[in-house]
Structure 1
Amino acid sequence: MRIVGGRHKGRPIRAPEGEGVRPTRGLPRESLFNILTHGRFAADGNPLADARVLDAFAGSGANGLEALSRGAAEAIFIETQAAAVSALRQNLQTLGEQANATIVQADVLHPPRATRACHVAVLDPPYGQGLGPPALRALAEQGWLAESALVAVELLKTEDLTPPAGFEELDTRTYGKSKIVFLSYAASGA
């Protein structure tokens, strides 16, 4: 796996051993971040520029690392598996991004209270388990999402995502067997 854009473009990142983690493949990740930085969500400027980004179900941290590579000021990674956290720590060290990152080893469905809200969030839950809506609710309830946060959720193409209260679907893109659903969050709508 490699970073696909920004200042770390082409640099390798490590995926954890085992089958418990499914890293976002290059094409969907590249498409996701191109949409964020150059598509309709960038009409008023790059939403990643100087943003605090949440990478939930982080695994290797590919999404948060990609965000840092493309201008995010900080990435917060939530991951529960020890092997994934170990790989993530190595990736942060390899890219020299430790000072711009926080790792929270916790279950995304039961996260601790946030110390600061994120402007952009990327969720990559295990496919086919219906974890998107409960994860969105839990993150919102614990203060992880700023008002008007832009949220992207990667799912299996055949999975449905009914946005919980406070979330509005903005767009959906399909890439092979996966899809990415873009949402906005309004705390007042929750």
Structure 2
Amino acid sequence: MRIIGGRARGLHLAPLGAGDAAAHLRPTPDRVRESIFNLLINGGHDAPVQGARVLDLFAGTGALGLEALSRGAAHASFVEEGKTALALLRRNIALMRAEGETQVLRRDATRPGAQGGAGFDLVFLDPPYGKGLGEKAIAACHAGGWFAPGAMIVWEEGSAPLPPPGLDLVDQRRYGDTHVTLLRMPR
């Protein structure tokens, strides 16, 4: 795994190693991550990356949020509760020297609580596939004020999800076993 573009292009992230089988880490492959950012930046979807406040839910290794930082995002907050994933995430933040631009929140992405500050412009959502956790996380984050008006949500899932009520479907693509759905919050 490596950063694909921007200021940290080519930086190799911490290897998963044998890992913890119970951690269920499934990092977004480089090829899919590159496709997502091409879609956001060059896809004509008015997706904020440059200067964005990014939220990476079910962050795992943090590759999506760190990629956004490399490409000009102002800040990234990572929500993760797994011990193995948190260790890898913190290692990757250190490798990228992004401690001053990041915040790691150890909590369940389906129950994040209220967000006290400004909402996030760009949200990455990569839950364990097929468990309905994406829908729960979107509902909980919306209720908690985590999303800025007009926020773009990039949702990875094993099958194409239906947009939750109140969100606009912007685009939907399939990359192998991964379906990427772009949703927009109302402005």
For normalisation by structure 1, the TM-score amounts to 0.91
1:29 to 29, 33, 38: 33
On the 8 A contact 1:53/1:121 being kept in 2, the answer is yes
Equivalent in the alignment of 1:101: 102
C-alpha distance in 1, partners of 2:92/2:175? Answer: 26
Q: Which amino acid aligns with 2:172?
A: T
Is 1:150 matched up with 2:138?
no
* Conserved? CA contact 2:113–2:140, under 8 Å: no
Once residues 120 and 114 of structure 1 are traced to their aligned partners in structure 2, the CA distance between those partners, rounded to angstroms, is 15
Report the secondary structure of 2:171's partner residue: strand
What residue ranges of structure 2 are gaps of 5+ in the alignment?
none
User: What is the aligned-residue RMSD (CA, Å)?
Assistant: 1.4
SS at match of 2:67: helix
Q: Which runs of 4+ in 1 moved over 6 A?
A: none
In structure 2, distance between residues paired with 1:23 and 1:132: 16
SS of aligned partner of 1:41: coil
Counterpart-to-counterpart distance in 1, 2:132 and 2:14:
27
Structure 2 CA distance for aligned equivalents of residues 12 and 160 of structure 1? 30
Instruction: Provide TM-score, normalisation by structure 2.
Output: 0.93
Q: Which residue is 1:40 aligned to?
A: 44
| Paired-residue identity, % | 39
Summarize the alignment of residues 1-190 of structure 1 with structure 2, pairs less than 5 Å apart.
1-16=1-16, 17-19=19-21, 20-42=24-46, 47-116=48-117, 117-156=119-158, 159-186=159-186
Are residues 134 and 32 of structure 1, via their aligned partners in 2, closer, same or farther at CA, if it must alter by over 3 Å? Answer: same
Verify the 8 A CA contact 2:5 2:70 in the aligned structure 1: yes
Report the more deviating stretch, 118-127 or 10-19: 10-19
Q: Which amino acid aligns with 2:28?
A: T
Q: Compare 83-92 and 16-25 and name the one that shifted more.
A: 16-25
Matching residue's letter, 1:164: P
Cα distance change, pair 15–129 in 1 and its aligned pair in 2 (3 A)? farther
1:118-156 Cα shifts (integer Å, max 9, x gaps): 001010011121222111111111111001100110011
Alpha-carbon shift at residue 186 of structure 1 (Å)? 2.0
